[in-house]
Amino acid sequence: QVQLVESGGGLVQAGGSRGLSCAASGRTFRTYTRRWFRQAPGKEREFVATLSWNGITTVYADSLKGRFTISRDNAKNTVYLKMNSLKPEDTAVYYCAASQGSTRSPKEAYDYWGQGTQVTVSS
């Protein structure tokens, strides 16, 4: 059974940092593009960051550049999201996903999704 499992969510104060992990099992995602999305209450799921299979190409949502960093460890079949200088508006459920497409592929190209992890930023 293929699974993506996010971890690391929780409650953090504004200005703080948090690191998320997304561990995959059931198959290797070594050649897959990996992405983080998030969904705040009452809002659409939105793009956060994406990383190419070889770790060379990264793309971030404009509003998150400089605060969030996506990385991966293919040997561990895991992708990470480091979040710094968190703001209350970063409160959301964070999802990881995997796609055989490129870093420019739309959300619909992502075949594998995790169940999400809640990040709450208090003011």
Instruction: Give the pLDDT of residue 88.
Output: 97
Average pLDDT taken over every residue of the chain: 96
> What percent of the chain has pLDDT above 90?
93
- Listed range (86-90, 94-98, 99-103) with the worst mean pLDDT: 99-103
Residue 108: φ, ψ to 5°: -65, -15
Tokens for 5, please give them. 């499992």
Q: Render pLDDT for 22-81 as a digit per residue (tens, 0 to 9).
A: 999 999 999 999 999 999 999 999 999 999 999 999 999 999 999 999 999 999 999 999
Q: Burial code of 13-49, b = ≥16 C-beta within 10 A, e = fewer?
A: eeeeebebbbbbeeeebeebbbbbbbeeeeeebeebb
